[in-house]
A = this chain, B = another copy of it.
Amino acid sequence: MSHNVPMAKGTYHHGDLRPALLKAAAEHIAESGVETLSLRELARRAGVSHAAPAHHFGDRRGLLTALATEAFGLLADQLEAAGPDFREIAVAYVRFAVSNPGHFKVMFRGDLLSADDARLAAARQGSAAKLRTGATAGRGPDTQLAAWSLVHGFASLWLDGALKGSPLADDADPETLARRMVARVGLE
């Protein structure tokens, strides 16, 4: 630039940039998917320069890793709050996915995340522990895997829009469908 115009006074420090970027990222992903997520767009949305995000997250991968870490924390909380009942835990998994699509769509995408991030690994292990909590513990690994696959698959199909207009999911809301499936499938 030729004139080197400085920014307005008092706006140099955002003050809450890191969470603001994470929030904006989750919103964008929920609406438009992760593919079109741009660090520069997030920066504009937060009113900071295009390189500001790099300071907090390093790069795009770092931001998504931070978002996934937050996601596993939120999931662990929701599973905890669901109590010990096995079916309620399964339903809580679906409820989490549907009410936090921006987080859910990123947390299992190994190709987007830093595989060696310690905080992500810890958060992931934490939520996995909650999944094994309560009534689930008494069952065999096959049943546990089946239960996880069931709710994970349903949540994924729902968020990807694969069930839109399908006779399999007519009318009912996702939580009800999840509850029905868990009952129907003999996991109780």
Binding site for B on A (CB under 8 A): 32-36, 108-112, 128, 140-146, 148-157, 160-163, 166-170, 177, 180-181, 184-187
Instruction: Please classify the interface of chain A as helix (H, G, I), strand (E, B), loop, or mixed, using the class held by over half of its residues.
Output: helix
Top 8 A-B residue pairs of the complex, sorted by shortest distance between their CB atoms: A153-B153, A33-B111, A186-B186, A149-B153, A149-B154, A152-B153, A146-B181, A110-B161
| B144, B149, B168, B170: the one within 8 Å of A150 (CB) | B149
Residues of B within 8 A of A108 (CB): 156-157, 160, 162
Say whether, besides A35-B35, A152-B153, A153-B152, A185 and B146 are in contact (CB < 8 Å). Answer: yes
Q: Is B185 touching A143 in the complex (CB atoms < 8 A)?
A: yes
Q: Is A168 touching B144 in the complex (CB atoms < 8 A)?
A: yes
Can you spell out 8 A-B residue pairs with CB atoms less than 8 angstroms apart? A128-B166, A142-B180, A143-B185, A145-B154, A145-B168, A148-B153, A148-B157, A149-B157
Question: In the bound complex, what is the Cα–Cα distance between A166 and B128 (angstroms)?
Answer: 10
Q: Which of A32, A152, A155 has the most CB of B within 10 A?
A: A152
Question: In the bound complex, what is the Cα–Cα distance between A128 and B167 (angstroms)?
Answer: 11
